[in-house]
Structure 1
Amino acid sequence: MSIAPISFAGALGGVTKAAGAGAAGGVGAGSDSGASFGSILAQGLQSLQNAQTKQDTLAVQAATGDLTNVHDYTVAAAEAKLATSLTVALRDKAVGAFNEIMRMQA
């Protein structure tokens, strides 16, 4: 079984521009994806939902004794936790940015 690396780009559904040399993660100004912000956000949330569903399925298998490789559940749980943490951090940044904009004078 091959384990795919977890990255910011994967959690946001394919945003591929990196900020810095070799770093996974930013959205560059020259992004060629052609996708709207809303569709990228929806893909990221769908990715989070998929990770949580996989974790839940493996947890049920572990509880019933049907899981043959315990490390599969451990990896799925870590992926779901990381994706959730990333989503919460992005939400917090978005709310902070919104509040900052609301404090600006016209």
Structure 2
Amino acid sequence: MTFPIGGISIPSFPTVPAVGGAGGIGGAAAATEAPAVSATENGFADVLTGAIENVQGAQSKSNELAVQAATGDLKDVHDYMIAAQEAALTTEMFVTLKNKAVEAFTEIMRMPI
């Protein structure tokens, strides 16, 4: 199950194979093995890189339309306003997620061992 967030998709968790009946010792051994991760699944670094690229893309699109609006080449001002709002929202979302990640890390570091 994936949850799309502004171009970011979070990969679903791999399923654990079913264990056979009471005599299924081989099935129990297979269930304890780590599931293989396919090459198509995204890791945390890939998701983070994609999010940064998404923010940069929205900001560059907004900047290009701003230049067009300033030079008079832009046909529809609404396009610039929409792009600027998208850039602002993606930046705000990314900063909020970064702050939550730092807050979670700080809480984990405060836990007694």
Q: CA deviation at 1:8?
A: 5.1
Per-residue CA distance 1:35-88 (angstroms, 9 max, x = gap):
111001101110100000000000011011111110000110011011001001
In the alignment, does 2:6 pair up with 1:10?
A: yes
- C-alpha distance in 2 between matches for 1:10 and 1:81: 12
- C-alpha distance in 1 between matches for 2:77 and 2:14: 42
- C-alpha distance in 1 between matches for 2:55 and 2:62: 11
For the 8 Å contact 1:55–1:80, the answer to whether it is kept is: yes
Change (3 A) 1:81 1:35: same
- C-alpha distance in 2 between matches for 1:45 and 1:91: 11
Structure possessing the higher radius of gyration over alpha carbons? 2
Unaligned runs of 5+ in 2: 16-37
- C-alpha distance in 2 between matches for 1:38 and 1:58: 30
- C-alpha distance in 1 between matches for 2:7 and 2:89: 9
CA RMSD of aligned residues (A): 2.2
Instruction: Give the alignment's TM-score, normalised by structure 1.
Output: 0.74
For the 8 Å contact 2:62–2:83, the answer to whether it is kept is: yes
Change (3 A) 1:28 1:93: farther
In the alignment, does 2:68 pair up with 1:61?
A: yes
Unaligned runs of 5+ in 1: 1-6, 17-26
Misfit runs of 4+, over 4 Å: 30-33
Secondary structure in structure 1 of the residue aligned to 2:75: coil
Per-residue CA distance 1:3-47 (angstroms, 9 max, x = gap):
xxxx952342xx16xxxxxxxxxx654599611110011011101
Match of 1:98 among 91, 105, 113: 105
